[in-house]
Amino acid sequence: MKRVGIIGVGQTRYERMKTEDTYADLVFEATVKALDDAGLGIDDIDNVITISNDFWDGRTISSMAITDACGSYGKNVSTVEGDGTFGALYGLMRILSGAFRTTLVVAHCKGSEGSNHFITNAMFNPIYERMIGLDSISSSALQARRYMEKYNITEEQCAMVSVKNHKNAFNNPFAQLAMNITVEDVLKSKMLSDPIKLLDASPISDGACAIILAEEEIAKKGPKRPVWIRGVGHCAEAYNLGDRDLAEPLSLIRAAKKAYTMAGITEPFKEIDVAEIYDAFSYQELLWSEGLGFCEKGGGGRLIESGATEMDGELPINPSGGVLSAHPVLVAGLARIAEITIQLRGEAGERQVHGARVGLAHGINGACGQAHCVWILEGE
């Protein structure tokens, strides 16, 4: 595989309600930041991938609302209706095809203008599951309970993830929820769907993110050191919740294996310096850590207790504050790639993991992590 690098990133600040900004405003801001970061003009981009969702945008063909804002006029443009990591994968494949040399990938979402319950209920089987009212929170509660009971994971261990990530968010200027909270605060917060409590869950968020990919020749000419894509893996498993064991993230295990094989990684906990994981709920950081091979099955709770995932630990996870601290749906996975890119450049400021050279970014699609996409990135 020829080398492809990430040469530019741009993010808006993630907020509960960006009343003053339209979708186009958010996309324009992120796009301009990414172009400035890469030292390019829009004429230097020959391929655009936009990431949006008709349900969240409240209109059909939602990508049409932002095509001008991302400068795609007169260019080859494709749209992805899923997490940003999958959109970035599509952009990568287009460069690897040899048809394009540069790709702008941009995602946007305004969760404040939709109903999470109504929208996420629609992702379930219309005959057997949708009618009972399942949504992203209640379905994740089923997964959390299955995982906790199968492997003796405690609510306190899950709460430790929330404490860590909200504390990390203080160092991230883009984060929405930075809080000094305790395990007790999490345990006493409002119950949403047992065992998930308010402080176990990610917030409603508005925002946008953009990255620019380029083939090696162009990437090396940029004003900043490129971050190279060493490996990517993705996998999806059964759609119906009852057709899979929710405590076993098989699609993540397979996606990670593909990415690690491509990148030549055999011991992920030792070889990866920093990770950004899609933690829409606190238990997910523990479960996904297991699926990524950072610890053994059922070892996620012991991993967080060991301090290994703290900022000064052996493998810091979510130094940005993660999705628990800002969750613009569709954008969150692309933001994980942007955050790892910043880390590997050494430009993360107070959230910088010192000496970070190899990083992992992760995104999900579907209920309870039905599909996963894993990226292994390396700095120069």
- pLDDT tens-digit profile of 131-148? 999 999 999 999 999 999
pLDDT tens digits for range 5-62: 999 999 999 999 999 999 999 999 999 999 999 999 999 999 999 999 999 999 889 8
Would you say residue 118 has pLDDT above 80? yes
Alpha helices in 152-291 (DSSP H): 155-168, 183-188, 216-219, 250-263, 268-271, 282-291
Element at 228 (helix H, strand E): strand 227-236
pLDDT value of position 202? 98
Q: Classify residue 112 by its DSSP letter.
A: G
Name the pLDDT band for 339 (thresholds 50, 70, 90). Answer: very high
Place of tokens 């655009």: 48
Residue 185 amino acid letter: D
Place of tokens 């230097």: 44
Q: How far is CA 12 from the centre of its chain?
A: 15
How far apart are the C-alpha atoms of 375 and 230, rounded to whole Å? 8
pLDDT more than 70, % of the chain = 100
Mean pLDDT along residues 207-227: 96
Angle at 117 between CA 325 and CA 168, to 5 degrees: 5
Name the pLDDT band for 106 (thresholds 50, 70, 90). Answer: very high
pLDDT value of position 325? 98
CB 135 within 8 A of CB 151: no
**Whole-number average pLDDT of the chain:** 96
pLDDT more than 90, % of the chain = 96
Mean pLDDT along residues 226-246: 96
pLDDT value of position 380? 85
pLDDT value of position 128? 87
**Nearest CA among 2, 4, 51, 11 for reference residue 211:** 11
The angle that helices 136-151 and 282-291 make with each other, rounded to 10 degrees, is 60
Rounded to the nearest 10°, the torsion over CA 212, 215, 219, 220 is 170
Would you say residue 292 has pLDDT above 90? yes
How far apart are the C-alpha atoms of 79 and 87, rounded to whole Å? 8
Would you say residue 204 has pLDDT above 80? yes
Mean pLDDT along residues 284-296: 98
How far apart are the C-alpha atoms of 295 and 6, rounded to whole Å? 29
Q: Roughly how many angstroms between the first and final C-alpha of the chain, as a whole number?
A: 18
Name the pLDDT band for 1 (thresholds 50, 70, 90). Answer: low
How far apart are the C-alpha atoms of 285 and 326, rounded to whole Å? 15
